[in-house]
Amino acid sequence: MPAPGRLMLFKTLMMLAGAGTVTLALGAHSAAPDVAVAPDVAVAPDVAEAGSMEAIASATTEPRFSSPWVSYVPASATVPSPSAFLGRIAGAPGELVDSRQAYAYARALAAASPRVKVFTIGRSEEGRDILLLAIADEKGIANLEELKGATAALADPRTLEPGAAERLIADARPIYYLNAALHSDETGSTESVLELAYRLAVSEQPMIRRMRENLVVLINPVCNPDGRDKQVEWFYSYLKGRTDRDTLPRQAPPYWSKYAFVDINRDAHQLTHETTKAVSRMFFEWHPLIVHDLHESVPLLMSWNGTGPYNPNIDPITFTEFQALSFHEVETMTGLGMPGVSTWNFGEGFGHMFMDSVAMNHNAIGRGYETFGNGTAETLVQSLAPEEFSREWYRVLPPPADKFSWSARDTVNYNETGVLAALDYVAGNSRMLLRNFYTKSLHSWRRGIDEAPHAFLIPPDQGDPTRVAQLVMRLQAQHIEVSRSESPLSLNDGAFPGGTYVVRLDQPYRNYAVDLLAPQHYPKDGGEPYDDVSWELPAYYHLAVIPTADPAILRLPLTALVSAPRPEGHVSGAGPVYLLKDTGQEGLFEARYRLGHFQLSIAERPFVQDGVSYPAGSWILPAQAGLQEALRGVAVPMGLEFAGVKAVPDAPAHPAPVPRLGVWVPWADTDSIGWVRYSLDQRGIPYTYIRDEDIRAGKLRDKIDVLLYGHVDLELAEQIQGIPRSWGPMPFKKTPQTPAFGSPAASDDITGGIGWPGLGQLQDFVERGGLLVTLGNASMLPIEAGMLRGVRRDSGGVPRSSAGGGAAAAAASQDAVTRTPGAHVRVSFVRPEHPIAYGYTASSYVFRQNFALYATPRRWLRMAYCTTCLDGPVDARSVVMEWGGHDEQPFLVSGQVWGEANLIGRPAILDSPVGRGHIVAFNFNPLYRDLNRGDHRLVWNAILNWRAILADRSAAPMGAR
Ligand SMILES: [Zn+2]
C-alpha cells in the first residue's frame, strides 16, 4: 500500500499537471468492495471500475512500483474496459494478448467510443494487419483530416510563411505516436498501451481531458504482429507458470518476423520490414511531432536521449526537446515516488537507424523507453548489478535494492505513468512544440539556400545505372526530393552530363539528405557507439555523389522526379554470340539466375572485341536457341547491355553454370543472417534453407554445390553447439496450439546446434568438392575450428557484441584495441585476378563492423616452443583481399576507426582449397542489412564463379589433396 505522505505529494502533482481541484475520496458511485485499497488515489470525477484497484494492487509487487494515475481503471457504462473485454486487467500475471485479441479490443474501443478511431496502416510479411488507434476528444476525431493537414503544412515551410504558420499553430495539435511490441520478447508495451488507450478515451480527470483536447494520440499496439503472436505462443508453450529466473529456458522463439529478430529495429534508412514501412507511411500521413517507441531492458525505466556525441545533421532544437521531455518524466515519476527512473546513459544519439528515427531524421522528435521487463508475463525475482542501482545525477532516485520482485503489471505501471507524464508535458506546451517543428523544417530548408553545399549531384552512368537508380529510390522513399537535369550541367566546381540526378538542398529534409549523402565523422573521443558510425549511402553503394557549392544549381531548370527512375538496358546486334561488359553491375547475379540453363562463360582476362575493351568478369554467351529473346527479358528491366558478335572471342574464360545454393541458418541466431535471405529473396534467387538438423543429417554435397553461411552474433562454441540441449526438445512447428510457429522454417527441436557430428558433415561437404562461403563471425567456424588451417586469431579486435557503452566506453579512447564499429574502410586485392575481384578496382573499400582479427596464414614446421603460434614462414597464397588501400588515400572512408595500425595488412578475404573443395572466408559482412550494395558483388562473384574457384588448386596448403 502507498506510504503515508504520498497524499499531499499526489495532490500537488495533480495541481501542477493542471488537474485543478481534485477529490481525494473514492467516487460515490464506486462499486469497489470494502477492502484495503490505496486511500490516496484521486478517482473523482472518475468512478473506479469495480475491482480494478484491488486487481492492480495485487498484481503490483510493491506499492512504490505504481502511481495514483494508474492504480485504478475508470469505469464506463458504454466503453468496454480491458477487464470487461479480456476478463483481466492489463499486465495480469501469467497472461499476454496476441495480435488478434489486441486488435479485437482496439476495434471494440473504436466502435464504442466517439473519441477513438481505428485505421489499418500496413500488413505484415505473414499477412497480419497492422492497426493504428487515434484518440482525441470528439472535436479532434471529427477534424482529423484538418489536423493532419495542419502538421503536414508545418512540415513544409516553402509553402508557409511564418505569419501563416503562427495562425496555423493556434488551431493545430501536436500528434503523439506510441509504438508497441517492436521487439517481441519485450512484452509489456502492448498491455500498457491498450489500458492507456481506454484511459485516454474515458477518464474525466482534468489532466486527461486536457490531453484529449490538445493532442491527437496515435497508438500502434502491435507494430510487429508476426513476432507478437510467435512470442505469445512461445510464452504459453515454454514459460507459463515458471517463476524461477535461474532455471528459465530461452525466452524467445527463434524468429520474430520473416527475416529479422532484434534487427527489425535497424532499418530506418532502408525501410525493408513491413513494420517499418507501416510506421513510415503513418509518419508521412500524420506528421507526428513525436514518435515514441516502447522497449524493455533497463531497470526500472530509462527514457532515451543518448549521451552524445549527437548527430550534427539533426537540428539542435530536437536535442533540447528530447532532453526536456526525458527530464520531465524523471521529475514527475520521481515525484510520484517511483524509484529507478532515469535518462541519459543509453546509446549515444549520433546514429539514427532505429524505429523512432523516422522522426529524428525528418525534423520531429524520436524517443523511447527501456522499461524493466521480465521477458515473460510471470513475476520474477530480479537481481541488479551495482552500477544499475547507484545514485547518479541522471538517476536521482535509484531502484530500491539489488534484489526485488518484478511483475508484468509493474512494467505496465511504469510505462503508462511515464507516457502520461510525457503527454501532459506536450499538452501543456503544444504551441511551443508545434512552433519548434515548423522552425526546424524552416532551418533545414534555409540552410540549403544560405550555405554550401547547395546540392548533391549523382552522375547517371557509373558502371551500374541500376544501382544509381536504387540509390535515388532510397532517397525518394525518405521523401527527399530528387530532380534530373536533362541537359549537361556546368557549375563553378564541376561539369556533369545530361541525365545527372540532382538533390537540391533547399528542401525541408535537407538535413537528412546531407546525413545520408556525406561521410560521417564520428569523434575519436566519442566513446563506444551503440550501433554503426557510418551510413553514408554513396559509400554503401560504391557510387560517387558530389556536393556543389555553386548556388546556381538552385536556379537552373531541372525536372522533378515524380516516380522512381528505371534505366532500361538493350540487346544490340544480331549475334549469334552475345557479350556483356562487366562494369561492376550488382544485378549480374540475379541476371545469371534468370538466365537459368543458358550456357555462359566468364572471361578470366581482359579482351578486345570489335574495338570494344572487355575487362575480366565479362560474360560470353555462345550461340544457343532462344538466347536473344531471353537476353531481352533480362536486359530491359535490369539495365544491362548485351552486344551481339559473330563468334566467341578468343579469351580465356570459364563456364559459369548456376550452382545449387544452400543457406545455413543456425537456430541459435537467425537475426543478422536473416538479411542474407532477404537479399536473396529480393533478387528471386532460389536456395535451400539449411537448418542445424539438415547439416547433422549429412549428405550435403548431394543436395548443394555452395553453402553460404552468413554473419551470426555467436561465438564459436554457440555456432557449433547451438541452443542448449538441456532445454530440449523445443519444437517450433505449426500445431493447433501454436499456429504462428513453423515460419519461415519449422523444427521438431531447435536445440543442440550442429554439434560435433554436424561439424564433421561440414568438413565432409567441403572435402567432397563443396564451396563453403562464410561471412563475418561465421568465418570463426572454418578458421578457429581448424577446417581452414594456418590462420591464428589475434586478441587485438573486439567482437561486435561488446558494443553498447559501459566498460567498453572506457576503452574507447584507446587505440590499443582495434575497432571498426560499422565504418567504411579501405581494402585492396592481393589477387586482383581472382574471380571475387571481378567488377572492382584493385583498391576499394568495404563496410566493416567489429570482427575478430586474423593473422596472415603461416606454415607450421617445427611444432615446438609455442602452442599458440605457427612457426613457419608466411603463406599468403590464400589471401584474396587485405585491409588497407595500396594508394595514398586515408584508411577511413566514413565513420571512425580505432587502432587501424593493427588491422591494415591483415586478410579481409581468404580463399583456400580444402580437400576437393574450397572455403572462402570474409572478415566482414558484405550482406549487411540490405545497405552495402556495393559490397554485395564480392559474395555474388564467389557464388557465380564457384566452378572456377573449386578448380583453382594454386593456393593449396600443406596437406591439401
Ligand atoms: Zn527493444
- Distance (angstroms) between ligand 1 centre and the Cα of 331 equals 24
Other C-beta atoms closer than 10 Å to the C-beta of 396 total 13
pLDDT recorded at residue 960 = 42
Q: Is the pLDDT of residue 110 over 90?
A: yes
CA of 347 to the centre of ligand 1 (A): 12
DSSP string, 593-656: HHTTTS--EEESS-EEETTEEE-TT-EEE---TTHHHHHHHHHHHHT-EEEEESS--S--EEE-
Write out pLDDT tens, residues 862-898: 766 666 677 788 999 999 999 999 888 999 999 999 9
Distance 672 CA to ligand 1 centre (A): 16
For the record, the C-alpha cell of 959 comes out as: 596437406
For 846, the enclosing helix (H) or strand (E) is strand 843-848
pTM listed for this prediction: 0.94
pLDDT of residue 954: 82
Distances (CA, A) of 378 to 614, 939, 953: 65, 45, 58
Whether the pLDDT of residue 42 is over 70: the answer is: yes
User: 6-16 and 316-335 helices cross at what angle (nearest 10)?
Assistant: 150
- Flag whether pLDDT at 84 surpasses 60: yes
Please tell me the predicted confidence (pLDDT) of residue 1: 36
**Dist. CA 180 → ligand 1 center (Å):** 10
For 14-42, what is the mean pLDDT? 38
CA of 399 to the centre of ligand 1 (A): 20
Considering only CA atoms, which of 498, 443, 432, 501 is closest in space to residue 470? 501
Residue 183 CA to ligand 1 centre (angstroms)? 5
Q: How far is the CA of 667 from the centre of ligand 1 (A)?
A: 20
Instruction: Say how far apart CA 811 and CA 817 lie, in whole Å.
Output: 8
Q: Is 167 helix (H, G, I), strand (E, B) or coil?
A: helix
- Above 90 in pLDDT, residue 161? yes
Residue 46 DSSP class: S
DSSP character string of 355-376: TTHHHHTTTSEEEEEEE---SS
The C-alpha cell that represents 376 in the structure block:
515473460
For 116, other C-beta atoms within 10 Å of its C-beta total 25
Peptide bond into 453 cis (omega under 30): yes
Distance 287 CA to ligand 1 centre (A): 24
Instruction: Look at 954 and 214; give whichever has higher pLDDT.
Output: 214
Q: How far is the CA of 441 from the centre of ligand 1 (A)?
A: 29
Write out pLDDT tens, residues 447-497: 999 999 999 999 998 999 999 999 999 999 999 999 999 999 999 999 999
* pLDDT at residue number 483: 98
The model's pLDDT over 512-535, given as tens digits with 9 standing for 90+, comes to 999 999 999 999 999 899 999 999
Ligand 1 centroid, distance to 121 Cα (angstroms): 22
Residue 17 has pLDDT above 90, yes or no: no
| Å from CA of 182 to ligand 1 middle | 7
Whether the pLDDT of residue 936 is over 70: the answer is: yes
Average pLDDT over residues 934-955: 95
**Burial of 400: CB neighbours in 10 Å, binned 0-12, 13-18, 19+:** middle
Residue the block writes with cell 545520408: 516
Distance (Å) from CA 146 to ligand 1 centroid = 34
**Per-residue cell: 699:** 549428405
Q: Which residues have C-beta within 8 Å of that of residue 118, sequence separation ≥ 6?
A: 106, 107, 109, 110, 131, 132, 133, 134
How much distance in Å is there from the Cα of 294 to the middle of ligand 1? 7
Residues in the chain: 961
Within 13 Å and on the Cβ side, how many CA atoms surround 367? 32
What's the CA-to-centroid distance between 319 and ligand 1, angstroms?
Answer: 21
pLDDT tens digits for range 673-726: 999 999 999 999 999 999 999 999 999 999 999 999 999 999 999 999 999 999
Q: Please give the distance, rounded to the nearest whole angstrom, from the Cα atom of residue 694 to the centre of ligand 1.
A: 31
Distance 741 CA to ligand 1 centre (A): 21
Strand partners, 405: 381
Q: How far is the CA of 308 from the centre of ligand 1 (A)?
A: 20
Ligand 1 center to 725 CA (angstroms): 27
Burial class (CB in 10 A: 0-12, 13-18, 19+), 947: middle
Residue pLDDT, tens place only, 376-400: 999 999 999 999 999 999 999 999 9
Task: Determine the pLDDT at residue 448.
Answer: 98
> How does residue 208 score in pLDDT terms, banded at 50, 70 and 90?
very high
DSSP state of 89: -
Q: How far is the CA of 276 from the centre of ligand 1 (A)?
A: 14
Per-residue pLDDT, averaged over 59-76, amounts to 97
Residues by chain with Cβ below 5 Å of ion ligand 1: 183, 186, 295
Ligand 1 centre distance from Cα of residue 372 (Å) = 11
The rounded distance, in Å, linking the Cα atoms of 265 and 353 is 8
What pLDDT, on the 0 to 100 scale, is given for residue 24? 31
Specify the range with the lowest mean pLDDT, choosing from 19-33, 422-436, 553-567, 677-691: 19-33
Give residue 332 CA to ligand 1 midpoint distance, Å.
24
- Residue 268 Cα distances to 93, 245, 295, 514, 519, angstroms: 34, 34, 16, 16, 18
| CB within 8 Å of 188: residues ≥ 6 apart | 91, 294, 296, 371, 373, 408, 411, 412, 415
pLDDT (tens digit, 9 = 90+) per residue, 791-841? Answer: 999 866 554 444 444 444 444 446 778 999 999 999 999 999 999 999 999
Burial of 859 (0-12, 13-18, 19+ CB in 10 A): middle
Pick the range with the lowest mean pLDDT from 24-33, 58-67, 249-258, 836-845. Answer: 24-33
pLDDT tens, position by position, 748-764: 999 999 999 999 999 99
The residue-averaged pLDDT of 935-957 equals 92
Q: What is the mean pLDDT of the chain?
A: 93
Among the residue ranges 14-28, 821-835, 854-868, the one predicted with the least confidence is: 14-28
**For 529-543, what is each residue's pLDDT tens digit?**
999 999 999 999 999
User: Ligand 1 center to residue 291 CA distance, Å?
Assistant: 15
Give me ligand 1 centre to Cα 258, in Å. 18
d(CA 180, CA 949): 48
**Residue percentage of the chain with pLDDT more than 90:** 89
**What is the secondary structure of 710-764 as a DSSP string?**
---S--HHHHHH-B-GGG----BS--SS-TT-S-S--BS--BS-SHHHHHHHHHH
pLDDT at 852: 94
**pLDDT attached to residue 866:** 66
**CA–centroid distance, residue 353 to ligand 1 (Å):** 14
**In the prediction, which pLDDT does 101 show?**
98
Residue 692 CA, ligand 1 centroid: distance in Å? 27
CA dihedral sign, ordered 17, 23, 28, 34: positive
State the cell numbers at 710.
Answer: 552468413
Q: What is the pLDDT of residue 380?
A: 98
Q: From CA 907, how far away is CA 877, in angstroms rounded?
A: 11
The percent of the chain in helix, strand and coil, each rounded to the nearest 5, is 35, 20, 45
- Residue 671 CA, chain-centre distance (Å), reads 10
pLDDT digits (tens, 9 = 90+) for 125-143: 999 999 999 999 999 999 9
| Whole-number Å distance between alpha carbons of 860 and 857 | 10
Gap from CA of 42 to ligand 1 centroid (Å): 33
Confidence of residue 40 (pLDDT cuts 50, 70, 90): low
Q: Look up residue 343 and give its three cell numbers.
A: 535518462
Q: Report CA(539)–ligand 1 centroid distance (Å).
A: 28
Ligand 1 geometric centre to CA of 374 (Å): 12
Ligand 1 centroid–CA 369 distance in Å is: 9
Give the count of beta carbons closer than 10 Å to the beta carbon of residue 39: 13
Q: Give me ligand 1 centre to Cα 293, in Å.
A: 9
Report the pLDDT value the prediction gives residue 865, as an integer from 0 to 100: 65
* d(CA 361, ligand 1 centre) in Å: 20
pLDDT at 795: 64
Distance 401 CA to ligand 1 centre (A): 24
Average of per-residue pLDDT across 642-668: 97
Over residues 282-293, the pLDDT tens digits come to: 999 999 999 999
Which three cell numbers mark 1?
Answer: 500500500
Cα 227 to middle of ligand 1, angstroms: 13
33, pLDDT greater than 50: no
CA–centroid distance, residue 795 to ligand 1 (Å): 30
Read off the pLDDT of residues 606-651 as tens digits, 9 standing for 90 and up: 999 999 999 999 999 999 999 999 999 999 999 999 999 999 999 9
185 CA distance to ligand 1 middle (Å)? 8
Model pLDDT, residue 794: 82
Smallest CA-to-CA distance from 838 within 647, 654, 706 is with 654
- How many Å lie between the centroid of ligand 1 and the Cα of residue 179? 11
Distance 406 CA to ligand 1 centre (A): 18
pLDDT at 29 over 90: no
Euclidean distance between the first and the last CA atom of the chain, given in angstroms as a whole number:
76
Nearest to 399 by CA among 189, 810, 410: 410
Beta-carbon contacts of residue 219 (< 8 Å; ≥ 6 apart): 132, 133, 135, 177, 178, 180, 193, 196, 197
- pLDDT value of position 887: 84
Q: Cα angle vertex 529, ends 525, 532, to 5°?
A: 125
CA of 295 to the centre of ligand 1 (A): 4
The per-residue pLDDT for range 560-614, each reduced to its tens digit, is: 999 999 999 999 999 899 999 999 999 999 999 999 999 999 999 999 999 999 9
List, in sequence order, every beta strand (DSSP E) within 71-215.
116-123, 129-135, 175-179
Q: Average pLDDT in the 544-554 region?
A: 98
Q: 52 C-alpha vs ligand 1 centroid, how far in Å?
A: 29
Ligand 1 center to residue 260 CA distance, Å?
A: 13
Between CA 675 and CA 260 the distance in angstroms is 7
The average pLDDT across 307-324 equals: 96
Going from the Cα of 356 to the center of ligand 1, the distance in angstroms, rounded, reads: 12
Ligand 1 mean position, distance from CA 186 (Å)? 6
